[in-house]
Structure 1
């Protein structure tokens, strides 16, 4: 069979490194506005006594003699500071000083106990007090905004600001989370006082912007939010909508005098889903227009003139380069003395499957996809598992969301092993499948040699991420799939879930390469593509069903919470890529455990660095 020669593999390795370098340089040029915005990676102990992580963006036009407005921005739950890159790129290049925080428990900020997470606006208000002390910030023009639970952080920051001797926040924009409409007694109120406040309410938000009857039954869908009492009270500055006397509309500023200050309110209702907010040109335009109107941009640039998409493009190039590096570097190390024993110069050609074999193949693919989908939904509906996933009960796993995905992966890994066992005893022995020759039984020496090679590859790959982070303050990502550098405390968290992911990716690599490697239509790559598709098929179907239902009816699939379908977005890509990575490494080594370990270790690190950590 045709093998990748060392020279050709060296070319792929060079391409991978070039993509990572181009990604770092390009993303850095975009986020620094071509060198006119200084980017600083901050970690400091706040007045709350906790360590907060943030990115500071200082335009060169912001000086002690010409102070600039400042905006603190925040990501949502289970995310990190880089998820606000559309906002910080666009706001900073318009002359705003911007601080993008890792909320407590997220990214590189210190984890807290669940009950303590809201402290000082989940860290946002600690960042507000920081920027207020910067000599180049106009303290009369400080704004806050956040997506989802970042908007909740903004609400908590307003509460903290109301109690401060000298309030600092003058403008608030809440993106994809509710405003505070009522007091503890249920009476409509205005906690925002004379501040300017905007609210972005997606028409297809999975979580918010519904109205309910006294029994908790939804009366209106998010797309009808503007007509609800909550929305009308918000636009009428906390007045009871029954007596306000005016029905107000979305997309328009309303001004009233509050405590002697002309305050403004506005509601935006883009036709998009909740997780699309941080990646939306429309919402980014609304953010820019809102702060231009309420704080005043030092540099007037049309809100529609956006360049952050180029940063996403360069970040995505790095993600592709990272993936290529995992394969190319592993193959490159096969020529070294330490790992030469893993190299297979002759791997049996993939051949067409028999008719009986094809029936078993397609049946096993369908059964595997059904098990994957059914178990995911079942876990999402299990109350005990849900309590662990949302860290609402004490647990050995401080990252509930990662535990949920890892547990689901392990269940499907076990199911795959069972399916392979049945297949082996039913037709595998008769059709001549040799488990030892196929690599399932490589011997302990070759097994641990593959694990060591995989460890070297993963360490080297994340070493590239570390270099990019240190010199360029960027990482590799596309939307909700991110490979970023991390603090050392993430390593034990990754080791905690690694066994779950090892069970799945070892089993998956065995299925892909030992039991299901043959040609389709005369081509092995077609077989690889089919396996990649079926790896991701169940998540794809669940997402399609969820959003088809949502867009048609305005409500989600009953019993299948929106967060569970959102968690599947990166999983779809990861599962499809896993089949390709394991197949390419198997072709070079005949060892299915190398690709399985690399995928399991990488996914473990990616998972624990992009979520919420709760202590106790």
Structure 2
């Protein structure tokens, strides 16, 4: 019986990863790692999607793809899959400071010029038929590449992005970039920043957009303006989606596929833009992501059967016979305060500037929020004094059990990444392997996450340790208390967006999108806390597991704003925050 959870987790990981692998390789496409260097020497990372038939000496048209801020190359897989299965070579890059690429945010033109040069150098690429596409801040490397080599590409798609934001203001003109397709969600949260219109649906009347299109009247979505032969073709597509949906919806993917099929020549398998299979890859990586959580719990269960670690196993001791008014109030505050303080503490955390020790600006903000809530949790515990819970505490064994549990998931992820070139993800949630260069950063931030997790998980276990409480209700309560506040925050923000066209806090689009990840992540923290406490009567193993996986998740998926190789860069989008 002890092997059941671990076996189920392994089966889900294998099945989901194989499904994702088969979908991204549909039609005979091969996916492989790519490495190259910028002119300044930073190592860059990417994935190359190669359609079949290139070994016969055929050269194919190609598209360079870039993700947005605090994302990675895997986020662009819907575009990559659909373009590759139509016969395009695709290079999905990690921007500088992101994923497996070196440097810091904005360095070396975000890595765009070197990526374009690398793509053009491949012997199976038709260097005269190159397209460029980027989402959000991914417009930075795309436009930098277009500036560096103005005759090296034929078409551009900016998805949820805009000229003149990540480069010089004089980019806002009708002859740059060449043959431009603007794909922008009618509910895009960044409309004011990107195009100077409060609502995405109002984009056709944006003065900035009209300047890019070279027209005086409102731009008509779907209409091609200008002359493709002269490089002045322009088209606006306005799907009814939000910013993070632009690269996770048929309506966001189809216009890019159509534009590249129309403007580039030589694709071997033209298909209607609406013919899409990429979502099945996301289903596969979602199954693998769920499997990773199950494997983590299963390995912890197995670890408690080892001779040395078996001393951790103890029956849970309830802290109270009933949950009184103070207990319910504490539960409510635990659920509400993290979400209520999230936006102000993130803004305050922006003052914690990146440095050699703490190079990730977003992680600095998240830690400021986490540590502030740690202080609030201590104050709540002191003010609402309840019966002192009896916990078992064994630091060495707890550390070892936590390391085994998280390490098993890390090994599984490393295996599927190396063998199948997929990771554990769904939409905005994504676990990717830790690169060697990011290990020092991980170790620097880990003690802070450990402090936060120990206080948070101890407080949660103390509140849930009530005599006679149902096991199922305890798990549901833990997940609800930890993630419920952020669920309410998301509902409030997006209900307002869908009804008015604006977020409840329209000046905080990035932090609102980041908050979406906390609904499943913090719910998982609650599940881990209950699972480990019920088997050990201790908050410590669960707290250490949560610290490890939260620090891993943020460090591997967040951008570096400081690096030893480049001066620190603050792009306009970051300054605007």
TM-score scaled by structure 1? 0.86
Q: Secondary structure at the match of 2:227?
A: strand
Name the residue aligned to 1:224: 202
1:362-381 correspondence to structure 2 within 5 Å: 362-381=328-347
Root mean square deviation, CA, Å: 2.5
Alignment of 1:359 with 2:325, yes or no, is: yes
Pairing of 1:95-114 with structure 2 (within 5 A):
95-112=87-104
In structure 2, distance between residues paired with 1:341 and 1:536? 31
Q: Does structure 1 residue 494 correspond to structure 2 residue 442?
A: yes
Note if contact 1:414-1:503 (Cα within 8 Å) is conserved in structure 2: no
**2:575 maps to what in 1?**
none
- C-alpha separation in 2, matches of 1:183 and 1:12: 51
Between 601-610 and 149-158, the greater mean CA deviation after superposition: 149-158
CA contact (8 A) 1:373 1:539 kept: yes
Residue 220 of structure 1 and its aligned partner are, at CA, apart by 4.7
Q: What is the CA–CA distance in structure 1 between the aligned matches of 2:462 and 2:182, rounded to whole Å? A: 54
Residues 318, 219 of structure 1: alpha-carbon distance in 2 compared, 3 angstrom cutoff:
closer
Q: How does 1:204-215 map to 2 (within 5 A)?
A: 204-208=187-191
CA distance in 2, matches of 1:388, 1:154: 29
Q: Is the 8 A contact 1:67 1:136 kept in 2?
A: yes
The answer on whether the counterparts of 2:191 and 2:197 sit within 8 Å (CA) in structure 1 is no
1:455-487 superposed Cα distances (whole Å, 9 cap, x missing partner): 122222201111111111111111111111121
- Counterpart position of 1:137: 125
Shift of 1:374: 3.6
Q: State whether structure 2 residue 231 is matched by structure 1 residue 265.
A: no
**2:364 matched to 1:403?**
yes
Contact 2:159–2:246 (CA<8 Å) still a contact in 1? Answer: yes
Deviation at 1:367, TM superposition (A): 2.2
Change (3 A) 1:71 1:364: same
Q: Confirm or deny that 1:275 pairs with 2:244.
A: yes
Quick check: 2:187–2:501 contact (8 Å CA) kept in 1?
Answer: yes
Alignment of 1:435-450 (within 5 A): 435-436=389-390, 438-439=391-392, 442=393, 446-450=394-398
Where does residue 573 of structure 2 map in the other structure?
Answer: none
Deviations 1:19-78 (A, max 9, x none): 1111221111111116x1121111222334221001011111235643210000010011
What is the CA distance between 1:491 and its match in structure 2? 1.7
What number of residue pairs does the alignment pair up? 562
Q: Distance between the aligned counterparts of 1:543 and 1:183, measured in 2?
A: 32
Equivalent residue, structure 1, for 2:269:
299
Given the alignment, which residue of 8, 16, 26 partners 2:9? 16
Corresponding position of 1:3: none
Residue 374 (structure 2) pairs with residue 413 (structure 1): yes
Q: What CA distance in whole angstroms lies between the structure 2 residues aligned with 1:528 and 1:276?
A: 31
Q: Do the aligned partners of residues 462 and 173 (structure 1) sit closer, same or farther apart at CA in structure 2, a change above 3 Å counting?
A: same
Contact 2:134/2:158, CA 8 A, preserved across alignment: yes
CA distance in 1, matches of 2:297, 2:398: 13
Q: Which residue of structure 2 aligns with residue 388 of structure 1?
A: 352
C-alpha separation in 2, matches of 1:561 and 1:111: 27
Q: Deviations over 1:199-230 (max 9, x none)?
A: 11211222235799xxxxx6652211112222
Aligned match for 1:607, one of 517, 536, 554: 554
CA distance in 1 between counterparts of 2:432 and 2:264 reads 32
**Residue 290 (structure 1) shift:** 1.2
Aligned to 1:4: none
2:491 maps to 544
Q: Partners in 1 of 2:100 and 2:194 — Cα distance?
A: 37
Q: How far is 1:247 from its partner? A: 4.7
* Contiguous gaps of at least 5 residues in structure 2: 563-567, 569-577
Q: 1:501-525 CA deviation, whole Å, 9 max, x = no partner?
A: 21222122212323322368x6232
Work out whether residues 95 and 112 of structure 2, in 8 Å CA contact, stay in contact via their aligned partners in 1.
yes
| 1:39 partner SS | strand
Quick check: 89-98 or 44-53, which moved more?
Answer: 44-53
1:593 aligns with 2:540: yes
Q: In structure 2, which of residues 39, 51, 63 is the aligned counterpart of residue 59 of structure 1?
A: 51
- Where does the alignment leave 5 or more consecutive residues of structure 1 unmatched? 1-6, 213-217
Cα displacement string for residues 98-118 of structure 1 (whole angstroms, at most 9, x for unaligned residues) = 000000100010023x5xx24
Cα distance in 2 for residues equivalent to 1:532 and 1:185: 47
Q: Deviations over 1:64-101 (max 9, x none)?
A: 64321000001001111100010111111111000000
Measure, in 2, the Cα distance between the counterparts of 1:80 and 1:219.
28
Q: Please tell me whether the aligned partners of residues 345 and 372 of structure 2 are also in contact (alpha carbons under 8 angstroms).
A: no
Distance 1:455 1:262 in 2: 56
**Would the aligned equivalents of 1:70 and 1:143 in 2 still touch at CA under 8 Å?**
yes
User: 1:220 and 1:10, CA in 2 relative to 1: closer, same or farther beyond 3 A?
Assistant: closer
Say which SS state the counterpart of residue 388 (structure 1) adopts: coil
What SS does the aligned partner of 1:321 have? Answer: helix
Cα–Cα, structure 1 residues 519 and 263, in superposed 2: closer, same or farther, change >3 Å? farther
Counterpart among 388, 395, 416 of residue 468 in structure 1: 416
Shift of 1:137: 1.1
C-alpha distance in structure 2 between counterparts of 1:418 and 1:187, whole Å: 52
1:3-402 maps to which residues of 2 (within 5 A)? Answer: 7=1, 9-33=2-26, 36-63=28-55, 65-112=57-104, 117-119=106-108, 121-162=109-150, 167-180=151-164, 189-192=173-176, 195-208=178-191, 220-235=198-213, 239=214, 241-242=215-216, 247-256=218-227, 261=230, 263-296=232-265, 297-344=267-314, 346-348=315-317, 353-354=321-322, 357-382=323-348, 385-388=349-352, 391=354, 394=355, 396-402=357-363
Where 1:173 maps in the other structure, the secondary structure is strand
Identify the residue that residue 574 of structure 2 maps to in structure 1.
none
Give 1:372 deviation, angstroms: 1.7
Q: Which string of whole-angstrom CA distances, capped at 9 and with x for unpartnered residues, describes residues 316-350 of structure 1?
A: 11111110111110110111122111122x444x6
Q: Give 3-state SS (helix, strand or coil) of 1:518's partner.
A: coil
